Structure 1
C-alpha cells in the first residue's frame, strides 16, 4: 500500500512540474537558464561527440568552414588568421594529420570531392590578395590544381568569369559544380559549371522575388535532382531544378527570426540540417519527397551557447556525422546520430 501512495505522489509531482513548466515557458525567467529540457514533440537525433577532435589546440584562428572526405575518413577545416595554417586535416576519429597554408588567403567555403583515383579539396577564397575572389581546387596536400575566376579581381563578368565574395560550392558526382557567389559582394547569383568549367546556367540577381537572392550563402543537392540554396538575407531556402535551373519554390516559414547560413542533407535523404548563424542554432528539417516541395517542418533543434556562431556545416555522407564550423567559438564540433550511439551501447 505504501508503494502505491509513493507512486501516486510521484505522478502528481511530475504533473505539477509539467504545469509549472508550461506556465513559465517563453517567459523572461526561462531565458536565464543556460540550457533547458524541451517538452515539445521534437526528436533527439544527434549527440555531441565530446572526444572530437582529440586536441582542440590546433584551432588557432576563426574556423569558417569544414568538409568531410567520407571515402578516406578525413575531415578538412579552414580557418582565418595571420601567420597560422589555413587548412587543417583530421581523421574522422579526431586525430590531427597535417596542415597547409600555401595559397589560401581568406577561406570562406569548402567542399571535398573524392574518388578512388583523386582527392580534390575545393575552397572559395574571398580575400583581397593575389588569390582572392576565386574558387580553387587543391589536391589533398594543398597543391593548386585549378583556379576558377579572375585572381585578385572581383567583378560580375562571365567571360572571363569573375567572382565577388563566392560563399560556397557543391560538386556533384558527375563533376558539375554549383557555386553561390555573393556573400555581401557585387553578385547575388547561383552558377552551374560543367566538369570542363563551362557555364551551363546562371540564376539570380539582388532582390526578394523568386530566383533572386540577398546573400546566397550555401548550396547543396538532394537525391531527386534539386538544388537548395540558403538565401540568408531573404530568410529562406530556394529550390531549383539541377538540369534546367528552373525555380521550383522556396521555404520561408521556418526562418522568421533569421535566415539559414548553411544547408546539408543527411545520407538517407530524410532530413536536412540547417545552421542559423546569429541565433547559434542548428535545425533539422524534414526533407520533402519528390514532386512539390511543400512547406518546411522542424523535426529537431540544437541550441548552442550564445556567440558560438555556426557558420557552415558538413554532413558525412557515410556516417551521417554533422561537423559544424563555429566562427564565434573558433572551433569545429562534431555531432553524431543518436541511433549510432544507442547501437554502440547495445553492443
Structure 2
C-alpha cells in the first residue's frame, strides 16, 4: 500500500434463489408475499447535460459517481481521444445543472495512475476512488481536489484470487458508510468481491459467486458471455456457473445488501455484507455473441438504486441490449425497461456504469461509440405497464 507523504421487450429470465433469506434481510418476513409494486419511476433524458467546456470532447466515458452535494464526477479516458482534438482531464466534476466545476488526474508522484481508467466512486466523506481495467493491480484514493491519499495494491506480482493485497483489473468500488468498508468488484482478471478498510487499506474478506471461494481456474464451458445456448434451452432451475465471469460493478444498499453485477454471467447476485449469498436475477439471458444480434453477448454492467430511503427500485444496466431494467428490489421482479442501441439522446452506445443522485436522477456512462455521460431526469412515479 502506498500513501501520500503527508500521511424494451425482449425476454428477461428471472431466477430468485433463497428468497426467504432475502426477504428476511430486506424487512419482509419469510413466507410473506411482498406487496405488488403498482407504480414505477419515470425518466426523461436531458440532452443538454452536461456542458462540456468549449473546445473539449470526451473520450470513452468509463464511469460516473454522485457525491453528497449531488455533483456528478465523470471518469473519462483522454488517451482514447483522436490526436489533435482537445479534451479534459480524466476526472471531471460537474454540478447538478451540468456546469463544469473542476478536473484533475493522471500520472503523479507517489502513485500509479491506471493505463485505462475504469471505475470512480465518491464516498460519504468526499474521498474520490479510482480504478483501471488495463492490466491494473491497484485502486487509488484522493481528496476532492485531487490530492493523493492512498494506494491499495501495486503491480509486479502473481495475479491470483488468493492475493489479499493486490487486484487484477478491478472494475468498480463502493464504500459502505456504516462500516467505512471499501467493496471492490475485482472483476476483469480475478473473479471476486473483496473488502478493505477504507481508512487503512487493511484487507477484511472476499468471496466469489454464490459465496464460493474465488477460483483461478479458467471459465468452464458455458460460463463465458460468448456461450451460444438458446434462451429456450436454459433450465430455469439451473442456478448457473459457480464462479463469476467479469464482475463489472458493485454497490451496497442502505439496508446492507451487496449487489454484484456479473456482466459476463448475465446476472445480478445479492449478498450480505459478510458475503452470504441470498439471491440472483438473470438479466437478458437470451443475449448471445456478436453476429447473433447482441453485441458481445454480455449484459449486467452496473446497478444503481432509487433515491427513496427504502431504495425500492433496483436499476440494472444491460450492456449489449442497450437498455436499463427497473426491478423491484425486494423481489428482483422486472417491472419495466427503457433504452435501445444508438447515439441519439436516450439511446446507448455501449452502456457501462451508472449512478443516481439524491433527487432520483439517473446518470449513465458510455464507452466506445457512445463516449458520453447522459442524465435521465426523474419525473415521478407512473403506473406500471400492464402485463
Is the structural similarity TM-score above 0.5? yes
Aligned partner of 2:130 in structure 1 is: 123
Separation in structure 1 between the aligned mates of residue 171 and residue 142 of structure 2, nearest angstrom: 17
Which of 116, 119, 142 is equivalent to 1:109? 119
Q: SS at the partner of 1:45?
A: strand
**Paired residue for 2:249?**
218
> Post-superposition shift, 1:97?
1.6
Deviation of the 1:338 alpha carbon:
1.6
- Structure 1 position 194 matched with structure 2 position 214: no
Residue 297 (1) aligns with residue 337 (2): no
Distance 1:156 1:172 in 2: 25
Tell me if the contact between 2:325 and 2:334 (Cα under 8 Å) persists in the aligned partners: no
In the superposition, relative to structure 1, how do residues 101 and 153 fare at CA in structure 2: closer, same or farther (>3 Å)? farther
Equivalent residue for 1:263? 303
| Pairwise CA distance, 1:249 | 2.0
Contact 2:41-2:381 within 8 A present in 1 as well: no
Change (3 A) 1:334 1:111: same
- Tell me the distance in 2 between the aligned counterparts of 1:211 and 1:198: 27
Whole-angstrom distance in 2 between the partners of 1:226 and 1:201: 15
Deviates more, 1:106-115 or 1:158-167: 158-167
* 1:234-268 Cα shifts (integer Å, max 9, x gaps): 111111111x2111121116543243100111121
Instruction: State the TM-score, normalizing by the size of structure 2.
Output: 0.67
Runs of 4+ off more than 3 Å: 41-44, 55-59, 151-154, 157-160, 206-211, 253-256
Q: CA deviation at 1:222?
A: 2.0
- Give the number of the structure whose residues are more often helix, by fraction: 1
Higher relative contact order (CA 8 A, sep 6+): 2
Q: Does 1:337 align with 2:374?
A: no
Cα distance in 2, alignment partners of residues 114 and 59 from structure 1: 30
In 2 relative to 1, CA 120–44 (structure 1 residues): closer, same or farther, beyond 3 Å? closer
Deviation, 1:43, is 5.0
Gaps of 5+ in 1: 1-24, 27-40, 289-293, 342-347
Partner of 1:312: 353
Q: Which has the larger radius of gyration?
A: 1
Distance change in 2, residues 1:200/1:284 (3 Å): same
Separation in 2, partners of 1:246, 1:323:
30
Separation of aligned partners in 1, 2:124 and 2:271: 25
Matched residue pairs, number? Answer: 287
Cα separation, 2, equivalents of 1:247 and 1:149? 27
1:3 — aligned with what? none
CA distance in 2, matches of 1:159, 1:326: 31
For residues 112-151 of structure 1, give each alpha carbon's deviation from its aligned partner in whole angstroms, at most 9, with x where no partner exists.
Answer: 0133xxx2000112345xxx42111011121211101124
Alignment CA distance shift 1:152-1:227 (3 Å):
same
Distance between the aligned counterparts of 2:323 and 2:194, measured in 1?
Answer: 28
SS in structure 2 opposite 1:303? coil
TM-score, length of structure 1 as denominator length: 0.75
